[in-house]
Structure 1
Amino acid sequence: MANPQFNLNGRIWLEVNGEKVLGHGRVELLERIHASGSIRQAALQMKMSYKQAWDLIHHINSHFEEPIVISQRGGKGGGKATVTDEGLKLIQEFHKMQGRLAEFLKQNSGIIDFH
């Protein structure tokens, strides 16, 4: 049997006191809220309930000094949600970290030898 080539793989997430606060899926939710202006629309696009999306946003907001998403209750035209400037910076920083991780994984894959 030929020697297998091992590759590294991984994902980034941010934790506070061992509790996951932000990862790939939550960043996607923030990006979809930013694009649509709606938690409901973002939830539908991600095939999750509004309650689940709202709970995730509440959880994210509760772990930062400034809100990441601000929402306004619906009325005749429906509600509105805005990703704050702080939230947009958070998204950008997350993508930078993800890029650095991808580069690390690329540079270090294939160098593992278990012989």
Structure 2
Amino acid sequence: MKTPAIPQPAIRVRPRIYIGTDISVGPGKIDLLRRIDETRSIAAAARSLEIPYKRAWMLLDALNQAFGRPLVQTSSGGKGGGGATLTPLGQQLVICYAALEERLNADSTAELEALRSLATCP
């Protein structure tokens, strides 16, 4: 599955979502899932985000623990090589987050422009 790409305007909202007391999902975890989907590798995803491999694993473990089931399916290396893919749950999380991010940015254009104008004031 190819995850939806989010346009990168000069100013935008990147939400952090809290579901109850045990689940938090924000740009870092979502970006990691998107990169895993693109590269089919946790190591390659971590490198592209310039985070340590161990940090990537810790983020994935936190997501798996919070949701109670895996968001990424891994396979061991070997002759054909290993790899990683998003599970249906991981795919749905990225899709839902992308839709929310898109809506928040579309619905807050005036406020974002006001904030941008503050940054360009003399």
Measured in 2, the distance between the counterparts of 1:12 and 1:39 equals 23
Unaligned runs of 5+ in 2: 1-10, 115-122
Are positions 1:102 and 2:116 aligned together? no
- 1:106–1:84: structure 2 CA closer, same or farther, 3 Å change rule? same
Following superposition, the deviation at residue 66 of structure 1 comes to: 3.2
Specify which structure has the bigger relative contact order, considering alpha-carbon pairs within 8 angstroms and separated by 6 or more residues. 1
2:52 maps to: 49
SS in 2 for 1:75: coil
2:29 maps to: 26
Measured in 2, the distance between the counterparts of 1:56 and 1:88 equals 16
2:3 maps to: none
Following superposition, the deviation at residue 19 of structure 1 comes to: 5.5
- Contact kept, 8 Å, 1:29 with 1:42, in 2: the verdict is yes
Cα RMSD between the aligned structures? 2.3
Aligned positions of 1:1-115 closer than 5 A: 10-18=13-21, 21-108=24-111, 110=114
1:3 maps to: none
Measured in 2, the distance between the counterparts of 1:91 and 1:43 equals 17
Higher helix share: 2
Of all paired residues, the percent bearing the same amino acid is 32
Return 49-58 or 20-29, whichever deviates more: 20-29
Unaligned runs of 5+ in 1: 1-7, 111-115
Structure with greater Cα Rg: 1
1:5 maps to: none
TM-score (norm 1): 0.75
- 1:21–1:76: structure 2 CA closer, same or farther, 3 Å change rule? farther
Measured in 2, the distance between the counterparts of 1:98 and 1:89 equals 14
Residues 45-74 of structure 1, C-alpha deviations (whole Å, 9 max, x = no match) = 111111110111111111114321111233
